[in-house]
Amino acid sequence: MPHSFNSIARSCGIAALVASMIVLGAPGAQADENVWPILKEQAFGDRPIQEEDGMVVLETPSKVEDAAIVPLTVRVPPSVKGKLKSLTLFIDQNPDPRVATLTFGPAAGTGGERSFSTRVRVDNFSHVRAVLETEDGSLHMTTKFLAAAGGCAAMQAKDPDADTADMGKTIVRTFPPAIESSPIWAAQVMIKHPNHNGMQLDINTAQFIPARFVKEMTVKRDGELVFQLDGTFSISTNPNFRFTFGRGEENDLDVVIVDTDGTVFTGQSRPKGS
Amino acid sequence: MPLAKPMCKPKLISRKTLLKAGLALAAAPLLRYVPAYAAAAEVSEVAPGVFVHQGRYEVQSPDNRGDIANASFVVGSEAVAVIDTSGSAVMGRELRDAIRAVTTKPIRYVINTHMHPDHVLGNAAFKQDAPIFVGHYKLARALGTRADGYITANKQMLGEGAFAGSEIVLPTRLIKEPTTLDLGDRTLLLEPQATAHTDNDLIVTDTKTNTLFLGDLLFSVHVPTIDGSITGWLTLLNEMGKRQAARVVPGHGPKTMAWPEALEPEQRYLAAIADDVRRQIAEGKTLAEATKTAGFSEKDAWKLFDQYHVRNVTAAFAELEWE
């Protein structure tokens, strides 16, 4: 995604070492309300969105320590019955405000708390939003504020050579619940991938490091779709996802990941062996 | 007004030195944030011909002008080598003034132990000496991809005045294997390291006095910061502790420290994080959960713990979860 250097400088903001800028709670100086109406229109047209009705909860760190790796968790309480249709995450002030969209399938599960966690880059003080679409097609949103900056400037890997050697390594891990008959199980997918945003200038070469990031991830349990995720470079280096799924027979998970280069990576978990 | 603190050879303050001091002070109005004391960085001669400036235990601010890391120089019979240049051009200038108060020999080499701004932003002050800028063979790439972010961040933290003139100066001499630099009757041994504090750590030994400059491979008092590999760093420290040295100069901490005892607190800190994080990963805990408790036994042992520890845990978790 080509950008002029000036727009990079503007959008990249302040790098992650600014410990003194971390603020708790209240919104900062950025007036980002004018961004959301546009995002909302593009994603949902004129559909009404219920806000803060308890259908979806967002957990964010009270203090952001590393704007390039900010853990987020979305929870849908057990009181929410029925299947979920989709979940969309936004970070208003990021160069690409869409973080991810999950479209749920029959193996996503019901009958317990459902959750999804990942790690994101936060480029500037911003609202972060989770919009849940329930079975009846209604939309529900929760919003938090993140005081952080520089996630896009600080995005480079600490050991790029080691990561390149391992690039594409995919690990899928299942977490059976304490009561195995519980209808909701948890799992984690992690992939070694730089998730380059294409906005990082290398002054040695005067070139931007090309964008290359995880675009799509499909998770199936026993061959049935749990969800398909459409991602952006707002997801941190070495994308990491933790999520719930509906218990099945074998609970074999198969994961297929495609990046913007069209490279395909796969991973699997076979809790019962084989 | 002494500009340098000689240790072994008492130096009379010559008229030349006083004149230089006068000129330096006359230039002071150009450096708006410099208070009324000497315009040269305070240095100590920790071994004959080996001078160290100790940085403050603080994060960057307009008040400290980026003076938050140690910077050193070694004087040979022909030339001078600088080892790290502090965190701003103004601090680099003050270091340079301290060198000039001690010797007029040409500054032949400016060596950066690693990429971090508090060790390299003073490089700009030495361009006038046309030295060879030296670093680990991965330093040019590491700085090249971070330059924009470092400049923006440090301009913000230091303010326009204290930041003025600071820029990223890339190394031209890249060290891929153990290399010696000759200063005239004095050699420095430069050894590039595998990924530890960063992926571009370079250590320097003054062979004449067996003084080991570890850069940020060694922190004391100031909490260590992980920007490379925690496992690589722990492995490196195990090996490093076996070598001989008369004294060691850390990247942050007292100007000179006893060897190898200087390593112990840092090894304990990194091991505490590694052990706690590995256990939590095995238990299926998330990154967010681990950042609340891992390594907090070390809380009272380090300055700036609150500023950097959780970021260290984040980095360690993101690395160790791949084991």
> Which pLDDT does position A273 carry in this prediction?
72
The proportion of chain A whose per-residue pLDDT surpasses 90, expressed as a percent, equals 69
Between strands B44-47 and A207-209, the pairing is unpaired
- Give the domains, in start order, of chain B with CATH numbers: 15-261 (3.60.15.10)
Query: In this predicted model, which residue has the larger pLDDT, A177 or B120?
Result: B120
pTM for the full predicted model: 0.87
* pLDDT tens digits along A52-104: 999 999 999 988 989 999 999 999 999 999 999 999 999 999 999 999 999 99
With an 8 Å Cβ cutoff, are A158 and B59 in contact?
A: no
> Which pLDDT does position B52 carry in this prediction?
98
With an 8 Å Cβ cutoff, are B287 and A16 in contact?
A: no
From chain A, pick out residues whose CB is under 8 angstroms from the CB of B140.
Answer: 204
Residue of B105, B88, B131, B96 lying closest to B49 (CA atoms): B105
* pLDDT tens digits along B68-98: 999 999 999 999 999 999 999 999 999 999 9
In chain B (323 residues long), the average pLDDT of successive 10-residue segments reads: 40 53 51 53 98 98 98 98 98 98 98 98 98 98 92 95 97 98 98 98 98 98 98 98 97 98 98 98 95 98 97 97 95
Tally of CB atoms within 10 A around A233: 26
Helices B15-26 and B89-102 sit at what angle, rounded to 10 degrees?
170
> Which pLDDT does position B2 carry in this prediction?
41
Res. A213: pLDDT tops 50? yes
With an 8 Å Cβ cutoff, are A202 and B287 in contact?
A: no
From chain A, pick out residues whose CB is under 8 angstroms from the CB of B172.
Answer: none
With CA atoms as reference, the chain A residue closest to B197 would be A158
With an 8 Å Cβ cutoff, are B199 and A159 in contact?
A: yes
- Confidence band (pLDDT; 50, 70, 90) for A199? confident
Q: Quick check: B163 and B194 in contact, CB under 8 A?
A: no
From chain A, pick out residues whose CB is under 8 angstroms from the CB of B315.
Answer: 66, 158
- Confidence band (pLDDT; 50, 70, 90) for A4? very low
Q: Indicate the residue of B59, B138, B147 with minimum beta-carbon distance to A19.
A: B59
> Which pLDDT does position A205 carry in this prediction?
86
* pLDDT tens digits along A230-258: 999 999 999 999 999 999 999 999 999 99
From chain B, pick out residues whose CB is under 8 angstroms from the CB of A209.
Answer: 145
Helix H, strand E, coil C: the string for chain A is CCCCHHHHHHHHCCCCCCHHHCCCCCCCCCCCCCCHHHHHHHHHCCCCEEECCCCCEEECCCCCCCCCCEEEEEEECCCCCCCEEEEEEEECCCCCCEEEEEEECHHHCCCCCEEEEEEECCCCCEEEEEEEEECCCCEEEEEEEECCCCCCCCCCCCCHHHHHHHCCCEEEEEECCCCCCCCEEEEEEEECCCCECCCEEECCCCEEECCECEEEEEEEECCEEEEEEEECCCECCCCEEEEEEECCCCCCEEEEEEECCCCEEEEEECCCCC
> Which pLDDT does position B278 carry in this prediction?
98
CA-based nearest distance A71→chain B, Å? 6
With an 8 Å Cβ cutoff, are B149 and A12 in contact?
A: yes
Hey, of B68, B139, B145, B170, which one would you mutate to test binding to chain A, going by the most A CBs within 10 A of its CB?
Answer: B145
**Alpha-carbon Rg of chain A, whole angstroms?**
19
Q: Which of residues 42-61 of B touch A (CB under 8 A)?
A: 59-61
From chain A, pick out residues whose CB is under 8 angstroms from the CB of B147.
Answer: 201, 203
Worst-scoring range by mean pLDDT, A8-22, A160-174, B175-189? Answer: A8-22
What lies within 8 Å, CB to CB, of A218 at 6+ separation is A225, A227, A228, A229, A255, A256, A257
With an 8 Å Cβ cutoff, are A18 and B284 in contact?
A: no
Q: What span, in angstroms and rounded, lies between the C-alpha atoms of A234 and A54?
A: 26
Res. A16: pLDDT tops 70? no
pLDDT (mean) for A12-18:
36
From chain B, pick out residues whose CB is under 8 angstroms from the CB of A240.
Answer: 287, 318, 321
* pLDDT tens digits along A72-84: 999 999 999 999 9
Specify the CATH number of the domain A5-269: 2.60.40.10
From chain B, pick out residues whose CB is under 8 angstroms from the CB of A160.
Answer: 141, 199
Q: Tell me whether B291 touches chain A (CB under 8 Å).
A: yes
With an 8 Å Cβ cutoff, are B228 and A202 in contact?
A: no
- Confidence band (pLDDT; 50, 70, 90) for A134? very high
Res. A12: pLDDT tops 50? no
With an 8 Å Cβ cutoff, are B198 and A158 in contact?
A: yes
CA-based nearest distance A31→chain B, Å? 20
Q: What span, in angstroms and rounded, lies between the C-alpha atoms of B205 and B187?
A: 8
Hey, of B115, B148, B321, which one would you mutate to test binding to chain A, going by the most A CBs within 10 A of its CB?
Answer: B148
Hey, of A6, A18, A70, A159, which one would you mutate to test binding to chain B, going by the most B CBs within 10 A of its CB?
Answer: A159
With an 8 Å Cβ cutoff, are A158 and B147 in contact?
A: no
With an 8 Å Cβ cutoff, are B157 and A20 in contact?
A: yes
Res. A2: pLDDT tops 50? no
CA-based nearest distance A138→chain B, Å? 30
What residues does each domain of chain A span? 5-269
State the average pLDDT for chain A: 87
- Confidence band (pLDDT; 50, 70, 90) for A109? very high
ipTM of the complex: 0.86
